[in-house]
Amino acid sequence: MKIKSIDLKHTNPSLGPHEKITTVSLSVTERHLERVDEFLNQSQVNNTVSLYEYLKAVKTKNEEVLNRVFNNEPKNELNSGQKISHLLFYFEDNEIIELSDVYRRFSLSHFYADFTNYMVEEGTIYHTKSDESPIFLKNKKGNL
């Protein structure tokens, strides 16, 4: 299970054509491999299994593990106008696993603010309007 990159995508669909999508992208290179592995193994999804075990269960369609995770899903609601964030894992086999609405549907330890901050500091940030190509904002050195 080799991850190529991880994206955290913030959207606000209630803004319609004025929506600005912000994506923080971290390429899982040798430089970040240890930190990503630490995150995958230490993070607990809905206080049930590690993030690594969850991703493995999604890939193998292990319904027993997935049902346990979703039975412990937080009961947070989306308020009008609120931002929605998605955490996406891109694998070398071209599979993509998305934790949609990650902050409301999942309790993910070591993610916010720990790993999120790491992604912002070490990754690349893009802003996109819903109908445009991404605008490069910052690379891993923080240059605009």
Q: Is there a domain that residue 103 lies in?
A: yes
Domain count, the chain: 1
Give the strands of the sheet with 124-129, arranged side by side.
96-99, 84-91, 3-11, 20-27, 124-129, 135-138
Percent of the chain with pLDDT over 90: 63
Domain range for 91: 3-138
Q: Which two tokens stand for residue 30?
A: 């040798």
Is the pLDDT assigned to residue 132 strictly greater than 60? no
pLDDT tens digits, residue range 74-92? 876 655 557 889 999 999 9
End-to-end CA distance of the chain: 33
Q: Is there a domain that residue 88 lies in?
A: yes
Q: Is there a domain that residue 144 lies in?
A: no
Task: Tell how far CA 71 is from the center of its chain.
Answer: 20
Q: Is there a domain that residue 114 lies in?
A: yes
Q: Is there a domain that residue 143 lies in?
A: no
